[in-house]
Structure 1
Amino acid sequence: MPAQAPDKRHLVAPWVLLAIIVALWQAGVTVGGMPAFLLPSPSGVLSRLVVMLSDAATWPYVGSTMLEALGGCVLGAAVALPLAVLIHRSRWVNAAVSPFLGATQAIPAIAIAPLLAIWAGYGLRPIILLCALLVFFPILVAAVVGLRHVDHSIIDAARMDGAGHAALLTQIELPLALPSILGGIRNGFTLSVTGAVVGEMVIGGEGLGQLLTIQRQVNDTAGMFATIVILCALASVAYGAIYLVERRSAVIQSLAGNRT
């Protein structure tokens, strides 16, 4: 029974925090007398959100942003994971690549987006590339850390049983490093959603970033808040789904370690 307490806290605490934030927001609007075009009330944002979600024209924007974010996350992972294996296995690759990895994070997305438009044209492709660049680093770091922290006694036992490099990687190292890798993907996907919105606002597109631009042009502040709520919901759902897979893989990892 006591083991269930943390799960209850994880379910209740976010809603308590959200209620406090909304209450403070409402109090600020009421007491401060802020005009709606500067800061709409929570009820005004909720009403606008309901209207948007009931409008069929909203969902293509949502679908486009999700496609860009998912495509960027997959592309970023497809590049980051093999590179993480190379860094883990080769000291030369590690020495050559490591000094440049931090530098890649110093370039703001809003500065890279116009260059991607010049190199890759406009539309879906440069936005997916931008998302991939944003998710690349957290996935790479998480994968390298996960691979380096695999229990060496398990690897030594597998080598004594005759496991080669490929078998060690696919059957021992990657499965045991999976929780860490999924943690990187989980954090990376939220960045990918951000990259999609930034790309749409700078390069142009058909997703929620474009919708935000339209709403800004007509001073639809409540609509902008509602769109931001949708973006937060998309990122939170993906974050939670990957977190559940991550926890399950951690349990499997623990069971595998106990067997050994």
Structure 2
Amino acid sequence: MITPLASVLVNRLTGSRTIITRKMQTPPSLTYEQKLKLDDLAERLIASEEPVTILIDGHEAEISEYLIKKLPNARVVMDGGSLRASNIKLAAWTDYFVVSEHFARDYMSYRSLSTEAEIKAALIELNKICRGEAFITLGEKGCAFLKSGMLQIVPSWLCNAVDTTGAGDVFHGAFTYGVHYSWHIDNIILFSSLTAAISIEKKGVRESMPDLAVVHHSLNSYERNLTQYFEE
């Protein structure tokens, strides 16, 4: 079996990165023993009577689908990094369908997302395939979603980018935290984008993730990126 491996090349000038991955195209199927473990986990979570929030990314589609069906009351957040059949299928059980600019572009067969009209059209179509709401992360250009049918693009935060590796994972983790504690969506996006901005000012991924107190104390230390990136 191929051992998954990812190599990351970081541009020292811009903080951008290129990831080279080697992995199995189709993950192994769940075994009977693994299903029993998932059943036990689901039973314990249900018995706790505590809210459950699940973050998925489509890479382990069978596990995600199996666990979501066992926990029908769980809120589900998806990190839709790239367009894959597994992500499209799992979207049907997703409450917060948070996809990348590349995902939205490829789903709509656009060359790029360059206008507000294109972003709105993409969100309308993405909303049709999930059970909740769709969001498009746009990197330094912000995060887009529809509020009462109107396009909202929440600005990102200005920061000194050193290493953007893992910024998306940090954003989605922070987003899921906000969902779990039932924050207002505006506060969830503000918190998620600030957490990601803080993280990319340091090298690495785990080492760069700020804790909750750091994020709260940094709120007045960063300015919003108010650059107009998209044509109306």
TM-score, L = length of structure 2: 0.23
Question: If each structure's strand is expressed as a fraction of its own residues, which one has the higher value?
Answer: 2
Structure with the bigger RCO (C-alpha within 8 Å, sep 6+) is 1
